[in-house]
Structure 1
Amino acid sequence: MTQHNASTTTADARTISATHLNALMSSDYVYALIDVREAGEYNSSHIPGSSLISRRDLEIQMARSVHHKGIRIIVCDDDGRRADLAAGTLRRMGYTNVSALDGGMNQWVVEKFPTEWGVNVPSKDYGEKMQVQHHVPEITATDLNQRIENGDKLVILDTRTPEEYQRACIPGGRSIPGGELSLRITDITSQLDDDTTVIVNCAGRTRSIIGTRVLQRMGLTNVFGLENGTAGWVLAGLELEANGDRLELPELSLEGIAAAEQYADTLATEDGVKFLDIPGLYAMIGRQSAENIYLIDVRTEAEYTAGHIPGFRWFPGGQAVQRSDEVGVVHNCPIVFTCDSKARAVQTASMYRQMGHKEVYAVDGGTSAWESAGAELESGMPATAPDGFAEAVLQAKHISAHELESDSQ
């Protein structure tokens, strides 16, 4: 897709009307709509399709959120004042096509355009859609607790991040981040009796619905999502387990890999995920000088730091779906996912396709194909300093703790 800007808006325009923004959002133009208020304000009400980057975080987040400096950017707030300041900041950072929403959210509401509330709304909408369309089975906290007490055959898979899992989990649950489900489930169930029930949980409901749907789509029938997750468990008066230590992912077997890759091929066909071979990936990377293209590695942190394709950002699959509005801040641009082969990349890419993203790719063969082509991987976690940080350090006056203590006496 060729990235272009709305013909009715010039790069010099300082503001955009609510009516014009609404029309822009209904088109295929490439743009970013950034809400520069604070999280609490955004959560209470925001424009659908907007991404939260608070004004104080612009220098920290923009480089990874909007790579290309010529992208059409609209910033908004409540009344336009902070948006004007934020637009000035972005222009100083080198962004050349920035406008503030005239009158902010207040004017948007006056003109009766839609709003929504909450955080990570696209993935939540997607989860609810899966629940309704595919009748994803659920179990209540009370019923699950009773089955645990009865000694029923169960395996509880916690699809949150390992950090969330360790803070508090359903008693007996094991950590299997959502992006790992299709790759690991065959090896998990191979160690279980055939009549074992699989329970998928998260903190609320979105990730458990999505995870349960993955397993349902892979052909598992005795699988349920925990209704309202760990939050529902607590609301039912039940205690969570702290410091869960069942974090180790199962070793992959040839059978498990084959099942995951067969599922990936099915997803690619049914959901319209495009594959990129290594020459195609090189071509895509080459387009970054003229376009905004997201390159996302969905593997585990340990795998990513051990070696990743240069230029790819780490965002594990489950979180890449849960936080899709943070991954794809720019609308209507290509998104490329990779893993070590294709299973996890395609699982994530298929969900993006189902959420309405049009140009979504998976690297066929992933990092393995990259190395086989003679290209080198990059190790470690890339560190990017906030925009203008070096200059700020030179200009700032520094004072030691000892000097501060002396000055206060």
Structure 2
Amino acid sequence: MGTKVLSIDTFRGWLADGEELAVLDIRDPSVVGYASPLFATNLPTERVLSEIGRFIPRHVVRTVLVDGGDSSGERLVEELKAAGRPNVFALAGGIPAWTASGEDLPTFDIPGVDFSVAIKNEKNTPVTSVEELKALREAGEGVVVIDTRTVPEFARDHVPGAISVPGAELVLRFKDVVPSESTKVVVSCAGLPRAILGAQTLIDAKVPNPVSYLHDGTKAWTQAGWQLETGKTRTYGAATKVAREFAREHIEALGKGDNLPTIDIATARQWATDPDRTTYLLDVRTPEEFAEGHLDGSLSSEGGQLLGVAYRTIAVRGARVVLIDDLLGVRARTVAHWLQRRGYEIAILLVAFDAGQLSDVA
């Protein structure tokens, strides 16, 4: 076996040694599906050379390429080493060999479903079935369905009448989308993870409304034989002053007991250039806000997605993660509340994006 090929036994040791390690699943996204068996960051072969820096900023980080058993990883290793990445290896046999090895323990992070179900069991998160939701509506009960997925996912299909508020935005936008304290709130997604975490976020933030999650979301709705709605029928808008004041109060309840250091821009810059440690600067605001202005070197990483599939962005295991938000910090604190429980080392950076800090933003 060549030096550029890593045995499964050696790889298993690397996964457990606590040192920084990046794992890239270089198969086509259509083959990988929702998640790689290794919780590897999916970066298909044709994009590795041009985009690897986004996912693995430090060139010296141990990096393992996992292919579909076609040796494409081995070919890429030589190109990456020529590009200045000396510690890149291909996993022998790729995903087929890893799967055949019988390894069934999580190698990074916690599966989204497993984590959310554990939270549901710990907190006894209330649940509403699609049949119960339909009955509530037919009875004329005041109920709001909030879809906590990304806006593009919502536009593809959603429970009729739902409003799109991605997970990290829930506390910030809550007062603008829920008309009264007596309104029942049902949080939905395509299945379970983001709905459970969304509902529990609101409950832990001590909103006054009765809150539950919609069991199996859009999946259950279609299984019941009912049609989903499509398009951007109802989406969140700019948070009003009232909504922001409500969020300021309730994020304190959510974060009670959290141990989340807050850093300044100078510290973030220092960490990002540390030659011995990887640091991600992740802007958890909306993509539209990021496009209007952001810190140089930061990545747009919508908070709701980080809640469910952090490994799609955070490829280096053992890295520091800085979550960037506006001065209110509701999105960053929401995401940090859950990611810290999943074992990530988190710090928060709050930036006055509206205060003309042009020397600090790109």
- Per the normalisation by structure 1, the TM-score is 0.79
Partner residue, 1:38:
28
CA distance in 2, matches of 1:210, 1:225: 9
- Candidates 203, 216, 231, aligned match of 1:228: 216
2:290 pairs, out of 297, 304, 308, with 304
Mapped to 1, the partners of 2:76 and 2:253 lie a distance apart of 44
In structure 2, do the counterparts of structure 1 residues 271 and 154 end up closer, same or farther at CA, with 3 Å as the change threshold?
same
In the alignment, the residues of structure 1 paired with residue 119 and residue 134 of structure 2 have an alpha-carbon distance, to the nearest angstrom, of 25
2:315 matches 1:329: yes
User: For residues 214-234 of structure 1, what are the alpha-carbon distances to aligned partners after superposition, in whole Å with 9 as ceiling and x for unaligned?
Assistant: 011112451111111112111
Q: Counterpart of 2:112?
A: 123
- Is contact 2:25-2:44 (8 Å) kept? yes
Match of 1:73 among 63, 77, 90: 63
Q: Which structure has the bigger radius of gyration?
A: 1
Aligned: 1:368 with 2:343? no
Classify the secondary structure of the residue corresponding to 2:240. coil
Q: 1:262 to 1:327 in 2, by over 3 A?
A: farther
CA distance in 2, matches of 1:327, 1:110: 27
Deviates more, 1:290-299 or 1:150-159: 290-299
Partners of 2:203 and 2:218 in 1: CA distance: 21
* Partner secondary structure for residue 60 of structure 2: coil
Provide Cα deviations, 1:15-42, integer angstroms capped at 9, x if missing partner: 2221221121112100111122233543
Q: Is the 8 A contact 1:73 1:97 kept in 2?
A: yes
**Aligned residue among 367, 377, 391 for 2:361:** 377
Give the direction of change, closer, same or farther, for the CA distance of 1:86–1:129 in structure 2 (3 Å limit): farther
Q: 2:161 aligns with which of 148, 172, 175?
A: 172
Q: Distance in 2 between matches of 1:319 and 1:45?
A: 13
Larger deviation, residues 38-47 vs 48-57: 38-47
| Alpha-carbon distance in 1 for matches of 2:351, 2:256 | 22
Query: Is this contact kept in 2: 1:176–1:249, CA < 8 A?
Result: no
Structure 1 partner of 2:326: 340
Alignment of 1:264-283 (within 5 A): 264-265=251-252, 270-283=257-270
Change over 3 Å in CA distance of 1:167–1:113 after alignment to 2: closer
Instruction: Give the 5 Å matches for 1:177-192.
Output: 177-189=166-178, 191-192=179-180
Shift of the 106–278 alpha-carbon distance from structure 1 to 2, 3 Å rule, reads: closer
Given the alignment, which residue of 34, 37, 40 partners 1:50?
40
Structure 2: 5+ residue stretches without partners? none
Give 2:127's aligned amino acid: E
Q: For the residues of structure 1 that align with 2:280 and 2:291, how far apart are their CA atoms?
A: 19
Contact 2:22 2:63 (C-alpha < 8 Å) held by counterparts: yes
Q: Percent identity?
A: 24
> In structure 2, the residue corresponding to 1:113 is in which secondary structure?
coil
Give, in angstroms, the shift of residue 109 of structure 1. 4.3
1:214: which partner in 2? Answer: 201
* 1:95 maps to 2:85: yes
Secondary structure at the residue paired with 1:21?
A: helix
- Runs of 5+ unmatched residues, structure 1: 1-11, 379-409
| TM-score (norm: length of structure 2) | 0.89
SS in 2 for 1:238: coil
| Alignment correspondent of 2:299 | 313
Two-structure CA RMSD over aligned residues (Å): 2.7
The code of the aligned residue for 1:142 comes to: E
1:71–1:97: 8 Å Cα contact kept in structure 2? yes
1:181 CA drift (Å): 0.6
The AA in structure 1 aligned to 2:182 is: D
- Which of 21, 35, 53 in structure 2 is aligned with 1:63? 53
User: In 2, Cα distance between the equivalents of 1:105 and 1:349?
Assistant: 31
Alpha-carbon distance in structure 2 between the residues aligned to 1:167 and 1:369: 31
1:247 maps to 2:235: yes
